[in-house]
Structure 1
Amino acid sequence: MVRLFGPLVGLFFAVALLWSFGNGAYNAVTQPSPPTAEALFHKHPKEVAFSFDGAFGTFDKAQLQRGFKVYQEVCSNCHSLKQVAFRDLTQLGYNEAEVKAIAKNWGNKAQTFDPKTGDRGDRPNLPSDHFPPVYYAGQGNPPDLSLVAKSRHGGAQYIHSLLTGYTDQVGYKNGQGQELLKMFPDAKTPDGLYFNPYFANLNLAMPQPLTSDGQVTYSDGKAATVDQMALDVSAFLTWTAEPKLDKRKQTGWPVLGFLLAATVLAYLAKRNVWADKH
């Protein structure tokens, strides 16, 4: 009897499993889940062109210097850049004297520790030092920006969209907006947070950092509009995340050429070796 009922029990569970899977798939197709607040209000990054886009793109050093100035005067108050050393700024076109001055005059100093006495202190930064961490006194823990361009989908376009995407939720003031708020009360921005449709959950703790044109003065005479400052700092943060981007592209094309030539030679060698075998 056991041998008779064993296969029947297994068949029963297999049929039940198949029915459950089919029923779930049918419901998913015919009865889609209700939309979420993120699905209704969240926006994809804006389409913005940068000089380093594409297989032949390269960094614009003038833009990178402007972006560093925006980071230095606006972003560095809250966000660290601890994966980057001061001496790396020579890649942006700064000379050694300028790098030494930037390191020495940086707001946060390098921390020191004497293992013999246990004393802690500080000293002026050196070009060989990494940018010191930022000790934020407010709520939350602002992320380090060293690799933010690689850790966020959209990279530079996402950063630019986020910096220029703050809004007061004007659409919520009309009748349709009020109805949406009734449906999705979690979409309403809580006190102490700021609405930004380019942020994943719509509300973030960072207030709008770039608030007005001319907030930063560019030494090259470029007009420092909010959009331009956002573009420049987005390019700079792309460089901090991928400082070897130019060299990687320059190396990639010769490597592809070599592989193509090697493939052709291998094919011709194969034809020659097996010519008498056919």
Structure 2
Amino acid sequence: MVRIGAFLVGLFFAGWLLVSFLMGAAAYISEPPAPTVEHEFHLAPKHVDFSFDGPFGKYDKAQLQRGFQVFKEVCSACHSLKFVAFRDLEALGYNEAEVKAIAKQWAIKTPDVDPKTGEMTGRDPVPADHFPKPFANNVAAAAANNNAIPPDLSLMTKARHHGSAYVYSLLTGYREQPAELLKKFPDAKTPEGLHYNPYFANLNLAMAPPLTAEGQVTYGEGQPKPTVDQMAKDVAAFLTWTAEPKLENRRTAGLATIIFLLIATGLAYMSYQNIWADKKKKA
């Protein structure tokens, strides 16, 4: 009796879910949702090639150093890298002395406490420190950025779909609102203080175009010309490294694991054939 009751209760809920689904599908077909400006004018990230693409891709250390330079001279004024320490830069090809110099010359001091007075103070960062935040707190960050808090960029390329291409597209995607958009959605004009960018989720963001002109950052001798496109690509590569510093090791370990499993599978099959060959003949 209990089983019959449980079956009937389950059948009722299953039927109710089916009816709800059918009603929702019918409503969607008869009254489809109104198109939104974001749905029609938001663009997928541009296609861009990086050296670390694909299962055998590797980081280009020269590009990562250029990307770090762009971050240091342009992005670090507003954005933080709270999960990256200065000493991690050694993986980009900087030696210990260069890392110490970068940390000491960093424009933002590391918060500290004066052991004599107990008061908050600032000191020059050391290699063991993480990159200091550009603002003391979120209130100060919002006050300096049109009430928008600049996000931490440590894991940005993992937090966005096609993260590397997304960062590149966002940095190179600023433009005037298209006339078609304003004609179709006259109330969707970009508010004053915001900037139109079709690669951003809601099309308008508080960050002004950070890369505005060729030569904004000076690269060393023998490096590519620092065009806006090149700088955007370089900093996107650097932010991919901050999010996945062990990318190359992970791929190497994965490839070694696949090779091991293939060899082990072959050996296991040959062992099976050898052990059971006589048994099958006798059977």
What TM-score do you get using the length of structure 2 for normalisation? 0.86
C-alpha distance after superposition, 1:58-105 (max 9, x if no partner): 111111111011000000000001111111111111111111111000
Question: Do 2:194 and 2:207's aligned partners in 1 also have CA atoms closer than 8 Å?
Answer: yes
AA aligned to 1:273 is: I
- Tell me whether 11-20 or 69-78 shows the greater mean CA deviation: 11-20
C-alpha distance after superposition, 1:4-56 (max 9, x if no partner): xxxx9999997776444323223434543222111111000000000000011
Which sections of structure 2, spanning at least 5 residues, go unmatched?
1-7, 136-140
SS at match of 1:134: coil
Question: Do 2:51 and 2:59's aligned partners in 1 also have CA atoms closer than 8 Å?
Answer: yes
1:113 counterpart residue number? 113
CA distance in 2, matches of 1:48, 1:29: 38
1:231 counterpart residue number? 233
1:79 counterpart residue number? 79
1:168 counterpart residue number? 176
- Tell me whether 110-119 or 154-163 shows the greater mean CA deviation: 110-119
AA aligned to 2:151 is: P
C-alpha distance after superposition, 1:195-229 (max 9, x if no partner): 11000111111111001111110013421100000
SS at match of 1:112: strand
CA distance in 1, matches of 2:55, 2:9: 60
1:204 counterpart residue number? 205
Which sections of structure 1, spanning at least 5 residues, go unmatched?
1-7
Question: Do 2:174 and 2:198's aligned partners in 1 also have CA atoms closer than 8 Å?
Answer: yes
AA aligned to 2:75 is: C
C-alpha distance after superposition, 1:230-271 (max 9, x if no partner): 000000000111111112222221221111111111222223
* 1:168-187 alignment runs, 5 A limit: 168-169=176-177, 171-172=178-179, 176-182=180-186, 185=187, 187=188
Change (3 A) 1:74 1:275: same
* 1:207-218 alignment runs, 5 A limit: 207-218=208-219
What TM-score do you get using the length of structure 1 for normalisation? 0.87
C-alpha distance after superposition, 1:93-123 (max 9, x if no partner): 1111111111000011122125785322222
2:138 counterpart residue number? none
CA distance in 1, matches of 2:279, 2:114: 76
1:5 counterpart residue number? none
C-alpha distance after superposition, 1:158-177 (max 9, x if no partner): 000000001111x22xxx44
1:3 counterpart residue number? none
Aligned residue pairs, count: 265
Change (3 A) 1:69 1:27: same
2:163 counterpart residue number? 155
AA aligned to 1:199 is: F
Question: Do 2:37 and 2:185's aligned partners in 1 also have CA atoms closer than 8 Å?
Answer: no
CA distance in 2, matches of 1:154, 1:17: 35
AA aligned to 2:247 is: L
SS at match of 1:224: coil
- Residue 144, structure 1, aligned to residue 145, structure 2: no
Give the alignment's Cα RMSD to 1 decimal.
2.4
Change (3 A) 1:18 1:56: closer
Identity %: 60
C-alpha distance after superposition, 1:118-151 (max 9, x if no partner): 3222221111111111103513210111111111
- Residue 270, structure 1, aligned to residue 272, structure 2: yes
